[in-house]
Amino acid sequence: MRAGTGLLWLCLFGYALGAQAAGTASIPADPLDSSRWRYIVAEHFRDARLMFDERVQVRAPDAVEDGRATPVFVRISGLDDVRRIRVLADAVAPGAVLDYFPDSGAAARDLSLGFGLRLAQATPLRAAVLTGDGVWHIGGRWIDAQGGGCAAPSMTLPESAGAGKGLAPGIEARAWPRPAGYQRLKFRIQAPASARESWPAITQITISDSAGRLRARLVPGKTLDPTAVFTLDIASREPLHIDVRDARGQRYERGVGSAARALP
Amino acid sequence: MWARCIVVLCLWLPCAVAPAFADGYYDLAPQRIAPDTYVFLGALEAFDFDNHGAVANSGFIVTEQGVVVIDTGPSRLYGEAMRAAIARVTERPVVRVYITHAHADHFLGNNAFAGVPIAALPATAQTIRSAGEAMARHLYDRVGAAMRGTSVVVPDEIIDRRADPLVDYGDHRLELIATAGHSPADLMILDRRTGVLFAGDVVFHDRAPATPHGDFAGWQRALTTAADSGFRIVVPGHGPVAENDTPLEQTGAYLRWLAERLRAGAARGDSAAELMFEPLPPRWAALAVQPAEYRRSVTYLYPALEGATLK
């Protein structure tokens, strides 16, 4: 029995090695020198065209300070026809940290995305930006495990306890006008403090304008901090509508007034 | 990361066979800054494997009644190195330890001072009791083997804030000044005989102030208290000793700038990690541990300000 299982694993391992080797030739060297890079490529970018691109900037602290909330900001400038932004943390693979589908109809050359991560270990953090020509443009940086200094220890929340208390969260939001007809939308999904530990996962967030046009769609992964502030730049100053769905099928919504009217 | 693990292994192996190697971690040379008064200056760095966590200043005063120690550093070995250095200056015993505040680089040498009363403000003792172990673990992760043998010793003498703040050690009259702002309780000690103010982390000098537990308004009040204390020499918690107000003014100006930077960022709608990478003005970029300390400040202090802009 044991020998049989071992043989099976050996076969699988051999198959995996072969599969890896087949794809290795075209994998560009990782500027972050991550030991997991080829597995990341195998999982997310198999047979895709990849390039490391300075136009994709990932900003985050050098080290995790508070394991519950590490702020991250992704800025994409000068890339045309962005279809999708996939945020990856090598050490918390498999799966993406976050998928962001911007408004593909807009000529969005400049996009920003801010969010919080629950992170307890050192990891490369990457943003992969898929453009209409099928190329993934990748930028990233390392986040170290713990910050140093005259500081408190990192504290990481335990995994969600599962059973919910059925408390409906609210959405706090605001929009700021930005240059070139953009607006910056920030929002935070707020649960009562007592419910935070047992909150169902957020499965999808959509942002649409007053005409019903989809402006952004976010699909959070497990390590995303669902209580952190999300920041998005939207190529419109129309009033927006935020629609959040969770794993229990609940839906929370709210409108955000026109950023143009918020001008002083 | 792997390089670090290998470094840890290499440090541990010789330790296991040659305990004397431990003596090499801290090369503490007391600097005499006033009659009977000495300081150990910490590195102007964040914790790492090379500085072994010795990033804060500590000090001692040799009085007729014995030696008064202010802060005990990041580890037992540091505390022991302090005691050895003190013994090279005087034969008098250590009679009291004061802990300025409950941050790991200031009190984790306590267990080198067994049998000596260790005094601190109530909130300092409380924080060390509740969070000391987690802080020690954090420091172990950062600095490695130099931390071995370190355990948390909670101060056993609570300073009563309503009691007489003047304590005489022979002809050294010490004034215990209770403030808050850098942390929930910040003790400063003024030696009225020499005019030396041990300011703890109320005052930083040429090193960016660490603000994770900072309260800007309280901290500015503490700086005013320090400025009004009539000191002649100030020992900052981090950075060089000074015979003027410069470190106080520098700390106050930085904190005012930081508070305004965070406020303006929240008002503009900046995202936290976006604001973190805004360049620093040359004056503040020139401080030690920048931009890391500024970025830590954003991590800790910005979420509340940012959250308050949403509704």
Decide: A62 and A150 in contact? Cβ < 8 Å. no
B307 contacts in A (CB within 8 Å)? 172, 188, 229
Q: What confidence tens digit (pLDDT) does each residue in A210-220 have?
A: 888 999 999 99
User: What distance in Å separates the CA atoms of residue B98 and residue B176, rounded to the nearest whole number?
Assistant: 10
In the structure, what pLDDT confidence band is assigned to residue A162 with cuts at 50, 70 and 90?
A: very low
DSSP 8-state class, residue A194: G
Among A66-70, B26-30, B69-73, B209-213, the minimum mean pLDDT is found in: A66-70
Judged against a pLDDT cut of 60, whether residue A15 lies above it is answered with: no
Residue A106: what pLDDT?
61
Which stretch of DSSP H or E encloses residue B63?
Answer: strand B58-63
Q: Is the pLDDT of residue B231 over 70?
A: yes
Taking 70 as the threshold, does the pLDDT of residue A150 lie above it?
no
Among A180-184, B153-157, B220-224, B246-250, the range scoring the smallest mean pLDDT is: A180-184
ipTM of the complex: 0.80
CATH number at B17 reads 3.60.15.10
Pick the CATH number of A157-264 from 3.90.245.10, 2.60.40.10, 3.40.50.2300, 1.10.287.3510: 2.60.40.10
* CA A242 to centroid of chain Cα atoms: 17
Q: Extract the tokens encoding A11.
A: 């076969």
**Contact indicator for B262, B306 with CB cutoff of 8 Å:** no
User: Does B5 score more than 50 pLDDT?
Assistant: no
Give A208 to chain B, closest Cα distance, Å.
19
CA–CA gap between residue A233 and residue A182 (Å, rounded): 7
pLDDT for position B97:
98
| Of A167, A168, A175, A179, residue with least CA distance to A241 | A175
Q: What is the pLDDT of residue A120?
A: 80
Which tokens go with A48?
Answer: 């895709």
Residues 66-125, chain B, touching A (beta carbon < 8 A): 103-105
Q: Any idea what DSSP says for residue A257?
A: -
Q: Tell me whether strands B186-191 and B196-204 are parallel, antiparallel or unpaired.
A: antiparallel
Q: What is the mean pLDDT of residues B91-98?
A: 98
pLDDT tens-digit series, residues A110-142: 899 999 988 888 899 999 999 999 999 999 999
* pLDDT score for A25: 53
Distance CA A140, CA A51 (A): 12
Residue B6 has what pLDDT? Answer: 45
| Predicted local confidence at residue B49, as pLDDT | 87
Comparing A5-19, A74-88, A152-166, the range with the smallest average pLDDT is: A152-166
Q: What angle do CA B1, B6, B7 make, to 5 degrees?
A: 95
The answer to whether the beta carbons of residues A193 and A67 sit under 8 Å apart is: no
| Interface contact B293, partner A, CB < 8 A | yes
Q: Is B299 on the interface with A (CB under 8 A)?
A: yes
Average pLDDT estimate for A143-163: 47
B252 within domain boundaries: no
Q: Which residues contact B294 (CB under 8 A, 6 or more apart)?
A: B208, B258, B276, B280, B284
Report the alpha-carbon distance of residue B142 to residue B309 in Å, rounded.
35
pLDDT number for residue A259: 62
Among B3, B42, B2, B47, residue whose Cα is nearest residue B296: B47
Least confident piece of the model among A60-69, A88-97, B1-10, B261-270 = B1-10
A181 vs A20, more confident: A181
Contact across the interface for A71 and B296, Cβ inside 8 Å: no
Ordered DSSP codes for B186-243 = EEEEEETTTTEEEEEEEEESSBPPP-TT--HHHHHHHHHHHHTTT-SEEEEEES--BS
User: Exposure of B215 by Cβ count < 10 A (0-12 exposed, 13-18 middle, 19+ buried)?
Assistant: middle
Whether the per-residue pLDDT at B69 is higher than 60: the answer is yes
Chain A residues with CB-CB distance to B144 below 8 A: none
pLDDT (average), residues A56-62: 94
pLDDT value for A198: 63
In a domain, B18, yes or no: yes
| Residue position matching structure tokens 């390089």 | B3
**Residue pLDDT, tens place only, A176-198:** 999 888 899 999 987 655 555 56
For chain B positions 144-163, those within 8 Å of chain A (CB to CB) are: none
d(CA A243, CA B101): 46
Longest dimension (CA), chain A: 74
CB A59 within 8 A of CB A35: no
CB contact under 8 A, A176 and B141: no
For the residues B174-196, what does the mean pLDDT come to? 98
Q: How far apart are CA B130 and CA A36, in angstroms?
A: 38
Q: How far apart are CA B167 and CA B104, in angstroms?
A: 26
pLDDT at B277 over 90: yes
In the numeric block, which tokens belong to residue B222?
Answer: 């503490």
Q: Which residues of A touch B (CB under 8 A)?
A: 59-62, 65-66, 69-73, 75, 112, 114, 116, 122, 145-155, 172-174, 176, 184, 186-188, 228-229, 231
* Amino acid A104: pLDDT: 65
Quote the mean pLDDT of chain A: 79
How large a percentage of chain B has pLDDT more than 70?
A: 93
Is B57 a domain residue?
yes
Nearest to B191 by CA among B201, B177, B205: B177
pLDDT at residue A166 greater than cutoff 50: no
Tally the domains of chain B: 1
Two domains, one topology: A29-146 and A157-264:
yes
pLDDT at A147 over 80: no
Residue B217 lies in a domain: yes
Q: What are phi and psi of A184, to 5 degrees?
A: -100, 125
pLDDT, tens only, B6-56: 444 444 444 333 333 445 799 899 999 999 999 999 999 988 889 999 999
Q: Which residues pair with A139 in a beta bridge?
A: A127
Q: What is the mean pLDDT of residues A235-241?
A: 92
- Of the listed ranges A109-113, A172-176, A229-233, B14-18, the least confidently predicted one is B14-18
pLDDT band at B279 (very low <50, low <70, confident <90, very high): very high
pLDDT over threshold 60, residue A26:
yes
Q: Is B134 helix (H, G, I), strand (E, B) or coil?
A: helix
Q: Which domain holds residue B113?
A: 2-246
**Among residues of chain A, what percentage have pLDDT more than 70?**
72
User: Tokens standing for A77?
Assistant: 């400038």
Residue A179 class from Cβ within 10 Å (0-12 exposed, 13-18 middle, 19+ buried)?
A: exposed
* SS3 of residue A78 by DSSP: coil
As a whole-number percent, the residues of chain A with pLDDT over 90 amount to 42
CB-based burial label for B55 (10 Å; 0-12, 13-18, 19+):
buried
Q: What is the DSSP string of B238-271?
A: ES--BSSSHHHHHHHHHHHHHHHHHHHHHHHT--
B272's enclosing H/E stretch is helix B272-276
Could you tell me the residue ranges of all domains in chain A? Answer: 29-146, 157-264
Least confident segment among A39-43, B28-32, B95-99, B219-223? A39-43
DSSP string, A119-173: --S-EEEEEEEEETTSEEEEEEEEEBS---SS-PPP--PPPP-S----PPPEEEE
Q: Is the pLDDT of residue B221 over 90?
A: yes
pLDDT at position A39 over 50? yes
Q: Do A174 and B309 touch (CB under 8 A)?
A: yes
Return the bridge partners of A242, or none: A207, A254
Q: How far is B245 from chain A (nearest CA, A)?
A: 23
DSSP B65: T
Residue B257 covered by a domain: no
If one compares B50 and A163, the residue with the highest pLDDT of the two is B50
Name the fold adopted by A29-146: Immunoglobulin-like (2.60.40)
> At residue A92, does pLDDT exceed 60?
yes
Residue B300 within any structural domain of the chain: no
Q: Please say whether the beta carbons of B275 and B291 come within 8 A.
A: no
Distance CA A177, CA A236 (A): 9
Place of tokens 């003498």: B157
Residues B161-181 have pLDDT tens digits of: 888 999 999 999 999 999 999
What is the three-state SS of B5-54? HHHHHHHHHHHHHCHHHHHHCCCCCCEEEECCEEEECCCCCCCCCCCCCC
- Cα–Cα distance for residue pair B29/B86, rounded to 1 Å: 9
Quickly list DSSP for A223-255: TB-TTSEEEEEES--S-EEEEEEETTS-EEEEE
Mark yes or no for CB contact A148/B46 under 8 Å.
Answer: yes
Instruction: Supply the mean pLDDT for chain B.
Output: 92
Are B269 and A231 an interchain contact pair (Cβ–Cβ within 8 Å)? Answer: yes
